[in-house]
Structure 1
Amino acid sequence: MNIRKWHWSTSSLQTKLALSVLIMTLPLVGLLFYNNFYAIHVVRGQVADSYTDTFTLYMNQIDEGLNDVDAYMNTLAFGNDLLAIGQAVTDDDYYTAKFYLYNKLSQEMAWYPSLSSFFVYEEKRQEYMDISSGYTERESIKNYVIDLIHRKKEMQGDITKRWQYHQIGDEHYLIDIVKAGDAYLGAWVRTKQLIAPLRTLKLGKEGEILFANDQGKPITVTNLILDKGIELRQDMTNYYLSGSDRKYLVVGEHSSRGNFSLFALIPDKNILDKLPYLQRVIWIITFGAMVFIPVGLYLMRRSFLIPLNRVLLAMKKVRGGDWGVQVNMHKTSEEFLILGNSFNSMMTEIQMLRVNVFEEQLNKQREELQRLQLQVNPHFFLNALNIVYNLAKVKNFELILEMTMSLIQYFRYLFRSNTSFVKLEDELEHTRYYLNIQSLRFPGQLTWTIDAPVYLTETPVPPLIVQSFVENSIKHAVTLDEPIDIAVQIDFLEEEKGMKIIIKDTGRGFADDVLKELQAGRSVQNDRGEHTGIWNIGRRLRLLYNDTVTIRYFNDTVTGGAVVEIMLSTEPELEEML
């Protein structure tokens, strides 16, 4: 028995078992996934909080340093030192004030380690002075600052964020300028100098720390931003992941003294490397569950569902009429072996019981067939003897011989017809002897014809099948009032591989109540409560052909006589045959 199909149905046991396994395992897998992502989220949050705290602390230090510079510059701007330069009348006064301010700024600059340089610009004389050393870009910064003062852009900024970002050449700076009369005092800081202390933070091989302006444009490390597709947001209330092909954890802090922000770009893979064991265990368990679920379903199907399906298919075949089915329970569990062997033993016993019951039914059918065949109408026998007696009285020896010979042949066939089937040729010959006897009984009142193809003469048919219907026609149709014709027509049905037998007469036909009972397949009884010959022959045909025979009863629309149409198979499964 080949069991290869898996029938998915909401009411089937195999579907319920599969769903039960999934219901038990999928929540566990979902919990593992959740735990994995939750652990990643926690680690990211912890890393982000750590860097945020560090950045907040350092940004406060930067802002405090810039604020100190602002406060110092404001003191100078509203004091006499800077005003003296702008208000000097003579050159001696101007250079004296300038020299004094230079020395003062040079001495005070040591108090501001984050500061790169102070500068002073006198607008009337258009003289620029800076207090710095070792910077190769001093000339470019000088030109940029003078142009900036002339354009007076710096004066239009937010008073709370006086340090503005500027790019001069390839370098990035924060510049702050105050005005006192015709003189300007300013300071500038390299962004590299501010970021330098944070380079000691371990951000990973590809991590970076950078400044960005208020528009989210990077001040430093622009290549990394462009290559990795990292977005710098202004909303820094929480960390976020950004990047096109590789994700970076982005944390930052805004400056309160300038239009810039500090960002840290931490590769996400470096963060997750801090929990390798837990992550590997979670993924191994998760993928193991995804693998073992189908494996478990397969083993359950092979060990439980397939043997059970074998039993179910065998029971379906039994329900369909196949009582010889056996269940093959090889290579299965002990419980199913016991179940299969018990089922096979039960089917063997049922098969033997059915054989015994079938043989008993056959014996009963044989007895019933013989009893039906030997039912001889006593009136016919007495009438035949009476005809012979009357012929003897008138000494009509020729008719006596004909009558006696027909009776001999008639009763010889009748008493030897104790089999289930005879040749059609013998049945028709017997019917002719019977009609010949009736013709002598009703001279001039009965005519008959029998027509059958020669190639059907060897076909097996039940005995008395034609003669019984002919006898019924004579019993109910022949009268002394007008002649009656009886016709027997036999044809071959090629498509159905069967034979059609038609017996019709020109009498009064079936009565309406009798015809209704016959068409409904119910028994018709005579006045004495006996079954008619038609019921007997119908019973015989059903016993022999297992209800595959078709019998139709109707009245001819032209003559009004009774018509019986029988369709039989020409190849019955014969039990015994002459």
Structure 2
Amino acid sequence: MKKLNFMRPKSSLRIKLTLSVFIMTLPLVIMLLYNNFYAIHVVREQVADSYKNTLTLHMNQIDSNLNDIDSYMNSLVSNGYDLIAIKLAESEDQYYLSKSYLFTKLSQDIALYDSLGAFFVYVKDRNDYMDIYSSQISYPEGDSMKAYFVAMIDEQTIPKGIRTQRWQHAQVGGEHYLFNIIQTGEVYFGGWIKAEELLKPLKALKMGEGGVALLSDTQGKPITSSSFVYDHGISIQENLDDHYISGTERKYVVVGTESYRGNFKLIALIPDRNILANLPYLQQLIWVITIGALLFIPVGLYFMRQTFLDPIKRLLLAMSRVRVGDWGVRVNLEKDAEEFRILGHSFNTMMTEIQTLRINVFEEQLNKQREELQRLQLQVNPHFFLNALNIVYNLAKVKKYELIKEMSSALINYFRFLFRSNTSFVKLKDELEHTSNYLGIQALRFPGQLVWRVDAPAYLEYVPVPPLIIQSFVENSIKHAITMEEPLDIAVQVGFEEHSDGSRMKITISDSGPGFDDMVLRELQAGRSVETERGERTGIWNVQRRLKLLYNENIAIQYDNNEQTGGGAVVAIILPIHPEREE
């Protein structure tokens, strides 16, 4: 009996079919897997960047508060009569009288700093320690800190020299604190803060179930939530310029930022599974499709014989369209064999999921833009608020009650608008009223030094505009142009223009000050951000960024100096009349 030869030459139909299926299936599988891992990477990257920006914003606020306390302490050491009087006291009566005055002053001033736990004054040659607590500090805590500081001063272990990071970390009695001590002769003046108090504003930050915000020192050792870090095997690196993933059983995305006022860092631990909460179904489906595609090859080889050429041709044509970027392509194999119908359905399903994946990534980008827009709109200048309160206080001292009522009413209207301006658009009328109210506050602050006018046609009063854009440029003019020598004239004019691509509204803000510096003007006209080391001109950057997010490229901001009047800055903002169409 002749033995049958079941071997197939290389040119057999089975091999060709196998190669054809591999050529058709593997690129799609690879592309699908690549898009899957790429989408995960993009989502994680965007979420990490969003938390990084939020932490930076909170850290800037913490550093600003610490800097305010530093400035107060330095001012009291350099110019404070009560502290100097203690140093120069020649008799016991003079010493205790000066000490009493200093205690009263510090008791009043500590209320200005919400996060501050206590002030203390230690006169070494008299071995006399005086401290003033805030309401958040208990007496046992105060006694523990007293013993710690007295021992440190007696042992001469306090940091010395001029430093940027003046606030040092200390662990006393199981609690963590930040402290700053200034020495003037035999008198030591200092303040300290509970580390947990700095994290209270972050409780509103949503980091998902199991997420934690904490403080660490510059070497990566946790200051707060140390048990959480060690229990989950999380490594905190010294360099936090970029995010990374750490943890043993449960993975966390670690992002952080460093303080420039103290030797500590602010860190967020976000559960990685929470970041990808919207992707597990898509990931499972991708794996099911991938495994199904691999299992389909032997089944397809059994059924695809004489009727495979035309369906494969249609599939290959569809794939060629995918390669050139046509993600909406679909194939119809319903009239062919069952196997081809399955393959066609798998192909269409994969393309649908790819489109869905791309949409999810795009939606994450939109969410990030919305969060950034909200952060930009919620920026409040604390110095303006403190200056306004100082004006009210000085008016109360001279009993100018009518001006106090006027100032209080203006402040109420100002902050009412500020706290409700977290929407994308407000009426032009409301924005102009808010700007006028702001100018009224500044007129009380600089009596006789500010003149302004606001002109807008009535038919444009209800045009929607982004909030705080006019006030930001007016504030910039006052900040950089007002002097005590001659009044500053500020004009806000609104007009209507017709352009080839639609109706436009032109808002012009001009002042009679010295105008833009030549270098600053060139940078602004080139569309680049201008920001000094102290963070000045952030209002201009804020407006530019918000307008770009809301209108994309459909706006223009023009900067110039008024050559006809011999000086003065001129800013023109050109916006669409119907911004919702641009969105």
Q: TM-score, normalised by structure 2?
A: 0.49
TM-score between both structures, scaled by the size of structure 1? 0.49
Structure possessing the higher radius of gyration over alpha carbons: 1
